[in-house]
Amino acid sequence: MVTEPATAPDAAASKPDQNSMVCYFQGDYVKLGDAKISIMTHAFLYGTGVFEGIRAYWNPDEKQLYALRVREHIVRLRNSSKIMLMAELPSVDEFTEIVLQVLRRNHFTEDAYCRPSVYKNTEAIGVRLHGLTHDFYVLAIPMGDYIDTEKGIATGTVSWRRTSDVSMPSRSKITGSYVNPAFSKSEAMLNGFEEAIVLTSDGHVAEGSAENLFMVRDGVLITPSVTEDILEGITRAGIIEIAGYLGIPVRERSIDRSELYIADEVFLCGTGAQVSPVASVDHRHVGDGHVGPISRQISKAYFDAVRGRLPAFRHWVIPVYKSE
């Protein structure tokens, strides 16, 4: 059992190695290096698990770590689990507290990433979802920026298509389904781009390899509908909320690939990507090739919100450390 700190730790304290970090596994808080499963575990053999990625942001002025939209992530995790026939789980409140405990017990004084996962833990050969037991874990590690959020990234449309919901539930974060974005990301990077633009099976823009997509045309923020085989992104919903706060109109509709070439601005968003402006698509500059004014405005509001600096969005964050 790893003890829980009452308040935020000293930022100068030594940092443990990854295996010494605290996770929740099989009903207890243990060191990450001690959390092990058998290679016969069904989720390892067949990808039959679901997960969430939750960011926590360090506010050095307040000496506080803010966990971002934990309850929304847990609700989506429970929905994904239901789709995968794994319905018996802790309540949203109980699961949220476990996430906060893992963050707290790791004494983070920097930005962090938390991954709760529910997985089929039966040790058995055989492709199916029914008749299997399941368990869950929560781990957390330090994590800074995943994609460059300042200068804009170079993207390229890839040949792989976004998995259709009739083949794999697009609105669920199923571990096995992430082979599809892995193919897309590697194709893009091996072709000299930093990120992929992935199309649906009928040729409309879906998202990045693992990020939702927005474009700006004539002052309007446009994003594919949730019926376009995209993940129902929590960051995506947050961007729409921020746009309303800033008075920026939003439309959800299909986007053609060629529209990205003539868009005024494009950016990707997600828990990992945060808000990542796109400088080019398929070797064509987006706008003037620099971060556009609406992307910059939304990005600033987002990063203020996630660190607890924007009062209108304090409902997004939960302080991890208890006050003195």
pLDDT at position 15 over 70: no
The structure tokens listed for 125 are: 């050969």
Angstrom distance (rounded) from CA 123 to CA 198 = 35
Least confident of 46-55, 133-142, 167-176: 167-176
Question: Counting Cβ atoms within 10 Å, is residue 226 exposed (0-12), middle (13-18) or buried (19+)?
Answer: middle
pLDDT score, position 13:
55
pLDDT at position 193 over 70: yes
pLDDT score, position 319:
97
pLDDT score, position 322:
82
Per-residue pLDDT of 250-283, as tens digits, reads 999 999 999 999 999 999 999 999 999 999 999 9
Angstrom distance (rounded) from CA 72 to CA 53 = 11
pLDDT at position 57 over 50: yes
The structure tokens listed for 198 are: 């992935």
Among candidates 163, 143, 265, which has minimal Cα distance to 207?
163
Angstrom distance (rounded) from CA 119 to CA 297 = 39
pLDDT score, position 151:
85
pLDDT score, position 144:
80
How would you classify the pairing of strands 54-59 and 112-120? antiparallel
Per-residue pLDDT of 62-90, as tens digits, reads 999 999 999 999 999 999 999 999 999 99
Half-sphere exposure of 186 (CA within 13 A, CB side): 6
| Rounded mean pLDDT, 6-11 | 62
Angstrom distance (rounded) from CA 46 to CA 41 = 9
Angstrom distance (rounded) from CA 285 to CA 278 = 9
Domains of the chain with bracketed CATH: 18-142 (3.30.470.10), 153-306 (3.20.10.10)
pLDDT score, position 149:
63
| Rounded mean pLDDT, 28-38 | 97
Per-residue pLDDT of 233-254, as tens digits, reads 999 999 999 999 999 999 999 9
If one compares 135 and 322, the residue with the highest pLDDT of the two is 135
Positions annotated as catalytic residues are 173
pLDDT at position 27 over 70: yes
Half-sphere exposure of 119 (CA within 13 A, CB side): 26
| Rounded mean pLDDT, 200-223 | 97
Least confident of 2-16, 86-100, 214-228: 2-16
pLDDT at position 324 over 50: no
Strand-pairing partners, residue 292, are none
Angstrom distance (rounded) from CA 204 to CA 233 = 18
Angstrom distance (rounded) from CA 213 to CA 270 = 9
Per-residue pLDDT of 142-172, as tens digits, reads 998 756 667 899 999 999 999 999 999 988 9
- Confidence grade of residue 173 (pLDDT, cut at 50, 70, 90): very high
The structure tokens listed for 196 are: 């992929």
pLDDT at position 11 over 70: no
| Rounded mean pLDDT, 37-53 | 98
Among candidates 182, 179, 183, 185, which has minimal Cα distance to 167?
179
What rounded mean pLDDT belongs to the chain?
94
Question: Counting Cβ atoms within 10 Å, is residue 279 exposed (0-12), middle (13-18) or buried (19+)?
Answer: buried
Q: What is the DSSP letter of 210?
A: S
- With the CA atoms of 273, 278, 281 and 285 taken in that order, what torsion angle do they form, in degrees rounded to the nearest 10? -170
